[in-house]
Amino acid sequence: MSENRIRPDCDRVFVVTAGYYSDFHIVAVRATREEAEAIRVHLVREFDDSAKVEEYALDGPPNAENGLFWWRIYVTTAHDEVSAELTAEQMGVEFVNTVEGRRFPFAWAQGSVMARDHQHALKIASEKRAELIVWKDQQVQP
């Protein structure tokens, strides 16, 4: 158990989320389901019917209870295809268009993301590809 906990008796957190796909976001994290539910009810009543409460084990192993797995993705601006495969590696997604000082007319990205299944991983990869296209267009040409 972590020594930095504000409440040492707390072994779970309740995350209030809202939105869908690229608009999905965390609204609040609470130590009790009751506090999280109060926030969710307010959001649904006033703003956003997509709000829900998710429960996670604190300091638990990744993927243990939330149903997410690590997927290695590869995307490029050279063509529309994206790929994803299960992996144990946890690495950030890096955008690249230069290797050993040589700039390429296309860019690519690879790394790992957390997703529920292959289809979800491909959806995330497609969103990363859209980000990559914007990133590539913003690069200063030599």
Q: Strand 94-99 vs strand 82-86: parallel, antiparallel, or unpaired?
A: unpaired
Q: Do 109 and 128 meet the contact criterion of CB atoms below 8 Å apart?
A: yes
pLDDT for the residue numbered 64: 43
Bridging pattern class, strands 12-18 and 69-76: unpaired
Residue 71: is it exposed, middle or buried by C-beta count within 10 angstroms (0-12/13-18/19+)? buried
| Cα atoms in the Cβ-side hemisphere of radius 13 Å centred on 116 | 5
Query: What is the pLDDT at residue 141?
Result: 59
Per-residue pLDDT of the chain (142 residues; tens, 9 = 90+): 445 445 556 678 899 998 877 778 899 999 899 999 999 999 888 887 888 998 877 765 555 446 788 888 999 888 888 888 888 777 778 878 777 777 788 888 888 888 888 899 999 999 999 988 888 888 765 5
Phi then psi for residue 99, to 5 deg, are -130, 125
